[in-house]
Chain A
Amino acid sequence: MDFEIINPATTLELLGTINELQSKHFRFGAGYSDLLMELKKKPEENLVVINLSQIKDTAFTGLTISPDHVRMGAMVTAHKIVMNEQLNKDYPVLHQAALTLASTQIRQVATVGGNLCTASPSGDIACALVALIAHCEIMDSTGKTKSIPITDFFLGPRKTVIKKNEFLNGVLVSANNKLSKNIYSAFLKIGTRRSMECSVVSLAYHIQTDDDGDIIHAGVAIGASAPTIRFAKDACDYLIGKRFDHIHQKEKEEFATKVLSYADPITDIRATAWYRKEVLYNLSKSIFE
């Protein structure tokens, strides 16, 4: 494992670095828990690592909660998410996803940006953010930003829409619906152990109901079940208008079948495709039990 490292201290310096390196082979380093493992297994020749972890700008490192959204800079750590009381209250799915990520130690360094840009089909925070229909704020090397829905962010395993002259600056999550009375929100992660797991299957959901208990918003995402994390749109649409606590067996099954239609899992050493589908179906039903 050998590489050169560049340590920009501000976003401005980062833009300059990205511009300079356009003709070279470079990668971003944030928490390094994935990058170092990858480079140890497969060293890359003439690699320059742009070290993001010394940038001080709060837009990049901070977590801000305003009335209409939550904004997380790309360098916000899993630990910071776990510790935030407001996120825990408003977005249990995100809190739980961050809390089940790897280990206590890894959560100190693992970042939102890293979890998204690695584009692993089993990314935990990423799966929760898909369920929350987050928006990704991408900046290019001229300093221009654009915002795209997270459902458009992933192109395939380890592939995102980010171009060589761009980077992920932050993530925005809309505030819960003003009319929402109850929130049913959780991250269900299945593995062999209770800790240190990479999901064999994961299911993230964030469902809001109004005063009458009717579902007014639903976000459901599946992890480790397809080449990318997927948003189960049909399943979400199916729920709108239904009473959360009156969903009967048939409807649960129909919902689960709709979730499952987004799954296209692989068989690997951790589980077969059959098992992944079976569990995903069961977990989908379990939301209403």
Chain B
Amino acid sequence: MKKEYKVIGKPIPKQDANIRVTGKAIYGHDILLPGMLYGAILRTEHPSAIIESIDVSEAIQLPGVHCVITADDVDVNNIGYKRDHPILKKGEANCTRDEIAAVAADTKEIAQQALRLIKVNYRIRKGVYDAFEALDESAPQINKFISGKFENKNIAEKFHYEHGNLEEEKKKSKHIVSRRFTLPRMTHACMATSNITASFNNIDKKLLLYSSTQVPFLYQRDMAHALKMNPSDIRVIQPVIGGGFGSKLDMHPFEPICALLSIKTGRPVQIIYSREEEFIASPIRQPMVIDLTAGVDKDGNFTFREINIIKDNGAYTSWGATTPFVIMQAFSSLYKVKACRFDAKAVYTNNIFAGSFRGYGNPQATFALERVIDLLAGELGMDKADIRLLNANEKGEVTGQGLHYDTCGHKECLETVIEHSGYRTRSLQNNDKRYKRGIGIASMLHVGGGAKIYRSDGCGTTLKIDPYGYCTIITGSNEIGQGSETVLAMMASEELGIELSKIKVINTDTDVKPWDVGVHASRTSFVAGNSLLGAIRILKEKLNKKAAEFLKTSHFDFDYSDNMIIPVNTKEGIALDKVVREMHFSAPNELAIASFFYEPSSKFQDKDFKGNVSGTYAFAAQAIEVEVDTYTGNVKVLDIYVAQDVGKVLNPLLLGGQIEGGILQGVGYALTEELLMKEGRILNPNFHNYKMLTASDIPDIHFYPVETLDKEGPYGAKGVGEAPLIPTAAAIANAICNALDLDVLDLPIIPEKILTALAEKKGTK
């Protein structure tokens, strides 16, 4: 039985849309503090070199320059998930991003001029720009801060996972398919470039940071470690954030550098990346090579998967190195599979290092897996939809890795897109000489209720109602454009019967808000939502008690509606604000305030990576139709049919925005986006040659939400943010292969790759 809600499920626009659409929202780029200086960073000229000397004497003499720092001027710790990353580099440069020196000056122009006056002597050395080469015994050790924990000096991190009897399942397999997939560097390209404003108060020694981090509490701790400060002396305020998508999960060197410039000068300092710097020095999706071997029995049941992944870690280790957590989930648990063996290594090279990016390794994994499923179906002569439906995940399933699917919309998502796309009924005629059409299907599994990879995956909320009946939600979670503020306000409005215009969300200040692990793993609506609902329950108990007292009733069951508290099944109630005033101003004088910390029921995985890591799981399927121009290799994506198990639609308008935005990033990943590198340098650090799709490139997107009402989720909802882009590249690749009978193994599938493949097939190239 579906419950009727007054606010939940309604298409309510973002509550902060009005400030954003009028230009009144204050982003990091708009902050101007009294006495503020402008910081700028000198990066290495060579991706791999010995730094013989740095001479800043001319730069410091330039009028308007306040401070120049190099590694010799600062006493700091390394940063990064493995603490293998010096903030300022000393002695050697290991990748094109390396920060050699930084300046603070009166104006941006003077700061840039000062950088040009810094003289660095480099002794260029041969770099290692290929992960396989880096694994060779003869390769030099690239990162000197990592001690030999693994068998090879250039391994930064490794993962091994297995379930089932692989050898046995291999024997049972009728067909086995093996392929090597190569995945490119994609970058977040947030519309606002990276920025920070640091203001150190040298009287009380406290540091204030205006930062667009998406994980403020982890950031506060990382910053404190880097600067050798007490975390509580660092206050992080988040201005309006111009795009995240995972790029702001790690703390990057420019952030402590800006803090150091402020500490040294005693003045506020601001660093804003140019677009070119953003392309060069902000994170990327992990490039990797995936070797996948998979089998199927005579009836079409998946038997086993064997996976070997080499990830190009770049010169330093970011959270990106931990994406195998998610990658292995796709391989172990998307569709039923009896045995799985998974190995992944992140390998140091002199390339730029990766970070986290929406999907966290899952788009790469899903691309490989869903391509191979098409190939297996081909070997068997089985329909590509049927093989998926046969093996689809089900409610109640506990996967080999120990994920519990208490609700599961996998099959329903597949069925929905198969039906709506007309997959089974579409005519297979492809007579046009030039334009060829094809359709492809792919699905995905992702965490839908946070991911317990930190000690806590929780979120705190403090909720108060003021004497005028307005509600303030102080939440640990953040708004990075996705609409979490609005969804939380809607939940409070639903539960407390207060209209949205009377609900405020405070979420930008670590000195004020309670702890939260941050925006990642599609967790905010789920975790922060449950946290808020917990606080509401507590506050309602207090209000109910007071209302009962006031109404002189023994009734303890109330409806909250239209700013009134009304005993259930009666008409006469009492105004909410009146109850709050009564609480505040009459004995025993109590605040209408409540706090709650929600910790998802998920478990830390054991050392074998087994365990129920998320509160719930999200599923999605996409069917995509393309038309390929065989004269040019251009692919036109015609229609995208997407069904996603979202648990419960909380706000269809915001949900649609997440789906469409995610999908277009997925289309870009499939067809156009790649940060090109040669010998450690980026060849296309601009929007001109890094091809993000424009409004005129968009396909028609048909979205069908699937509601499975998960008991763990707020109102049954699951996380939705990352899922939309995960299966897109796979489905597009499958569609192209369907249209042209090709075997696509790498992304992006640019026009030239298609013409080359066609020419090779014809034997003309």
Contacts and interface: CB of A to CB of B under 8 A. Distances in A.
B684 A269 contact: yes
Contacts of A283: 631-632
Contacts of A286: 434, 631
Contacts of A257: none
Interface stretch (A67-75, A211-219, A271-279): A271-279
A195 B752 contact: no
B696 A195 contact: yes
B689 A279 contact: no
A279 B671 CA distance: 18
A163 interface: no
A192 B672 contact: yes
Contacts, number: 56
A20 to B, nearest CB: 29
B759 interface: yes
Given A275-B752, A282-B632, A193 B672 contact: yes
Nearest to B274: A40
A192 B696 contact: no
Interface in B731-765: 750-752, 755-756, 759, 765
A194 interface: yes
B676 A269 contact: yes
A279 B750 contact: no
Contacts of B676: 269
A192 B750 contact: yes
B697 A279 contact: no
A194 B631 contact: no
B694 interface: yes
Contact of A190 (B684, B688, B751): B751
Given A198-B688, A269-B676, A286-B434, A190 B632 contact: yes
A279 B631 contact: yes
A45 interface: no
A198 B688 CA distance: 8
A289 interface: yes
B163 interface: no
A195 B695 CA distance: 8
B17 interface: no
Interface string B679-703: 0000110011101011111000000
A289 B633 CA distance: 18
A161 interface: no
A274 B632 contact: no
A22 B617 CA distance: 72
B391 interface: no
Interface string B650-683: 0000000000000000000001100010000001
B561 to A, nearest CB: 49
B672 A194 contact: no
Interface residues of B, number: 27
Interface string A256-269: 00000000000001
A194 B671 CA distance: 12
Contacts of A193: 672, 691, 693-694, 696-697
B694 A194 contact: yes
B521 to A, nearest CB: 31
A194 B752 contact: no
Contacts of B694: 193-196
Contacts of A25: none
A195 B671 CA distance: 14
Contacts of B689: 269-270
Contact of B631 (A196, A200, A272, A282): A282
A151 B693 CA distance: 35
A117 to B, nearest CB: 20
Nearest to A271: B752
B173 interface: no
A195 B634 contact: no
A192 B765 contact: no
B765 A269 contact: no
B434 A272 contact: no
A269 B683 contact: yes
A195 B698 CA distance: 11
Contacts of B671: 192
Nearest to A276: B752
A107 B755 CA distance: 31
A279 B434 contact: no
Nearest to B765: A274
A203 B386 CA distance: 45
B684 A278 contact: no
A188 to B, nearest CB: 9
A195 B683 contact: no
Interface string A240-266: 000000000000000000000000000
Contacts of B683: 269
Given A193-B672, A286-B434, A289-B434, A272 B696 contact: no
Nearest to A286: B631
A281 to B, nearest CB: 9
Contacts of A289: 433-434
Contact of A278 (B672, B693, B695, B759): B759
Given A194-B694, A194-B697, A279 B672 contact: no
Interface in A194-234: 194-196, 198, 200
* Residue among B672, B755, B765 with the highest chain A CB neighbour number at 10 A: B755
Interface in B696-723: 696-697
Contacts of A271: 752
A285 B672 CA distance: 26
Contacts of B632: 190, 279, 282-283
A231 B249 CA distance: 53
A8 B524 CA distance: 59
Contacts of B687: 196
Contacts of B752: 271-272, 275
A193 B634 CA distance: 9
Contacts of B672: 192-193
* Residue among B433, B631, B687 with the highest chain A CB neighbour number at 10 A: B631
Interface string A115-146: 00000000000000000000000000000000
Contacts of B751: 190, 192, 200, 275, 279
Contacts of A282: 631-632
Interface in B419-451: 433-434
A192 B765 CA distance: 21
Interface in A150-198: 190, 192-196, 198
A41 to B, nearest CB: 9
A278 B634 CA distance: 13
A190 B634 contact: yes
B684 A275 contact: no
* Residue among A195, A272, A278, A289 with the highest chain B CB neighbour number at 10 A: A278
A196 B689 CA distance: 10
Interface string A68-107: 0000000000000000000000000000000000000000
Contacts of A190: 632, 634, 751
A192 B631 CA distance: 13
Contacts of B755: 275, 278-279
Contacts of A192: 634, 671-672, 691, 750-751
Q: Which 8 A-B pairs have the closest CB atoms?
A: A282-B631, A195-B694, A275-B752, A195-B696, A194-B696, A192-B691, A269-B683, A192-B672
Interface of A: 190, 192-196, 198, 200, 269-272, 274-275, 278-279, 282-283, 285-286, 289
8 contacts: A190-B634, A196-B688, A196-B694, A269-B676, A275-B633, A278-B755, A278-B759, A279-B632
Given A192-B751, A269-B684, A286-B434, 13 more contacts: A190-B634, A192-B634, A193-B691, A194-B696, A195-B697, A196-B687, A200-B751, A271-B752, A278-B755, A278-B759, A279-B631, A279-B755, A283-B632
Interface of B: 433-434, 631-634, 671-672, 676, 683-684, 687-689, 691, 693-697, 750-752, 755-756, 759, 765
